[in-house]
Structure 1
Amino acid sequence: MGGILLSISTGTGDGGETSLWSGERIKKDSARVEAYGTIDELSSFLGEATHFSSEEVAYHLIKIQRSLFKAAGQLASKDVDYVEPIEEVDVQSITELVHRYESKVKLDGFVIPGSTVASSKLDICRTVARRAERRVIALSRTEKVDSLLLKYINRLSDLLFMFARYEEYKAGKIVYKRDIK
């Protein structure tokens, strides 16, 4: 048995502040906490989506969750170089996946989201990713945010859109706006 058990409830945030990776204390409703908190929310929704998605897509979602730990860590590191930031290879990986799934699913109009449970879950992830992007951009207006992190989060919502369409495509259930009378 041995070892010390650490509690996640320390009481240090009871006054409305939290600690950054750098040790600095900031308000829990700051733009920085909003940004990395929304990234955390996205990761949770991605975790849920893995249980409804195909094995192929779920594999990628888990990899994305790992990258989101890097993104959140970066955002929680004011004035400190985070040990494992989003890198060009992360941005390139997302971009290549977008192109790969665009070539599999040839879209020819506006899509009504949510034709399958998997695509519905992925579309929720996509909208949370867009909100995370807005939060990161808002932070970047007042504080330095790495440009690769901005690129990554922008491309991520595109990829989640394509994953949702791919799940619908495989089920033969893509619904275009023009199809709704």
Structure 2
Amino acid sequence: MSITTKTGDKGETSLWSGERISKDSIRVEAYGTIDELNSFISEASHYLKSSESKKILKEVQNDLFKVAGQLASKSRNYIHPVSEEDVQRITKYIENFEKRINLKGFVIPGKTLQSSKLDVCRAITRRAERRIITLDKNEKVSEQLKKYMNRLSDLLFILARLEEYLVDSIEYKKW
């Protein structure tokens, strides 16, 4: 079986649920941005010092397959949707790291190579979330998926700060 189907040569693609849609649709843009995010998380993982962060990012990458699958499904219910448990799991990670790091103001991002890689992932997550919200204005997107994406940007922010915290390099904005 070849990965080349030639069915997209005229600017359309198939959703997981079977429909054909234009490759420039907001739905394709949304799950394409999730694919981009997953790739950047993969890259970031190679640089991280914290094995705890690497483990969490592996979980996130698996979650992103659920997110992309839901976004690539229009008429059928997706088999593995993002759940409230997924949202709560990453919320707990955020809360635990916040207690550990105890941030004291606005942080200048990217003070280490590791944190800068995670900050790029955070920015891509926010773009994906914007695309998902645009899609939701026309086609309903699950509340859990939207909450997950909102929390994910927070998780990536705090993981970036963890990488800086581990080498005592968090820099706060001076006003």
State the TM-score, normalized to the length of structure 1.
Answer: 0.94
- Secondary structure of the equivalent of 1:178? coil
- The reply on whether 1:150 has 2:146 as its aligned counterpart is yes
Q: How many residues align?
A: 174
Indicate the residue corresponding to 1:3 in structure 2: none
- The reply on whether 1:101 has 2:87 as its aligned counterpart is no
**After the TM superposition, which residues 3-152 of structure 1 pair with which residues of structure 2 at under 5 Å, given as runs?**
6-53=1-48, 54-152=50-148
| Shift of residue 109, structure 1, vs aligned partner | 1.1
Q: Distance in 2 between matches of 1:113 and 1:45?
A: 17
The one-character-per-residue Cα deviations of 1:97-135 (angstroms, maximum 9, x if unpaired) are 110110111111111111111100000000000000000
| Shift of residue 177, structure 1, vs aligned partner | 1.1
Q: Distance in 2 between matches of 1:112 and 1:9?
A: 44
- The reply on whether 1:177 has 2:159 as its aligned counterpart is no
Percent identity over the alignment is 60
| Shift of residue 144, structure 1, vs aligned partner | 0.9
**Structure 1 runs not aligned, ≥5 long:** 1-5
The one-character-per-residue Cα deviations of 1:62-93 (angstroms, maximum 9, x if unpaired) are 11000000000000000210000000110000
| Letter aligned with residue 84 of structure 2 | E
Q: Which structure's CA Rg is the greater one?
A: 1
State the TM-score, normalized to the length of structure 2.
Answer: 0.98
RMSD: 0.9
Q: Distance in 1 between matches of 2:3 and 2:33?
A: 20
